[in-house]
Copies of this chain bind each other. A is one copy, B any other.
Amino acid sequence: MKVYGTSVSGNCYKVKLLLHVLKKPYEWIEINIRNGETKTQEFLVKNPVGKVPVLELDSGEFLSESNAILYFLANGTSFFPNELLIQSRILQWMFFEQYSHEPYIAVNRSLIRLQNKKDDPRISANLPKGLDALRIMDDHLAKNGFFGSEEPSIADISLFAYTHVAEEGHFPLNDFPNIISWIKRVKEIPDFIPIY
């Protein structure tokens, strides 16, 4: 199994983190987004959307979209329990992550930390929406240990990736004490590996 990814990307880190905690062997192929390596003809065959991460199976087939890859890898493990309503709630949080969380929290981190565009007007526009996402997560965690399930699931892996580095996008994590506690719990998952 091969993973085409960019180490600094939270979406790619999700896949790496899950593979580690599941103790699944894989080959990591570093892709440089900045010099257009996801837009080459060779790469677009793997993923026509031109994005990392991409999973290459031993059969040579490709799978993209970080959260779909998590689904594929976690099936049959404790990270995606076998009850339909729990599975659906895990996916509910993962769609929340891609629609209501990543476009604000990951994008501001990228603009500030990776692209050095500290004056980009998108940063202030994204701030209230990112804070909304963190508030919704914090409220959920006031009554629950994890997202979607009573045990860590791929919803936690997915949401952890950009949340735990949200301060790099100038989101004040200390205003969300339940998130701080949850971050500690995720880091205690056996075989956890940090993003850096």
A contact set with B: CB distance below 8 Å: 48-49, 57, 61, 63-69, 71-72, 75, 84-85, 87-89, 91-92, 94-96, 98-100, 102-103, 136, 139-140
Main secondary structure of the interface of A (DSSP, over half): helix
| Contact call A92/B68, Cβ cutoff below 8 A | yes
Is the CB–CB distance between A100 and B61 below 8 Å?
no
Contact of A63 with B49 at beta-carbon distance under 8 Å, contacts A95-B95, A95-B98 already known: no
Smallest beta-carbon distance A134→chain B, Å: 12
Give the number of copies in the complex.
2
Measured between C-beta atoms, what is the minimum distance from A149 to chain B in Å? 14
Inter-subunit contact B49/A96 (CB<8 Å): yes
Name the contact of A88 in the complex, choosing from B49, B71, B92, B140 (C-beta under 8 A): B71
What B residues does A99 contact at CB under 8 A? 65, 98-99, 102-103
Given A72-B84, A75-B84, verify A64-B48 contact (CB < 8 Å): no
26 contacting pairs across A/B (C-beta < 8 A): A48-B136, A48-B139, A48-B140, A49-B96, A49-B136, A57-B85, A63-B89, A63-B92, A65-B92, A65-B95, A66-B95, A67-B91, A67-B95, A68-B89, A68-B92, A68-B95, A71-B88, A71-B91, A75-B84, A75-B87, A95-B95, A95-B98, A98-B98, A98-B99, A99-B99, A99-B103
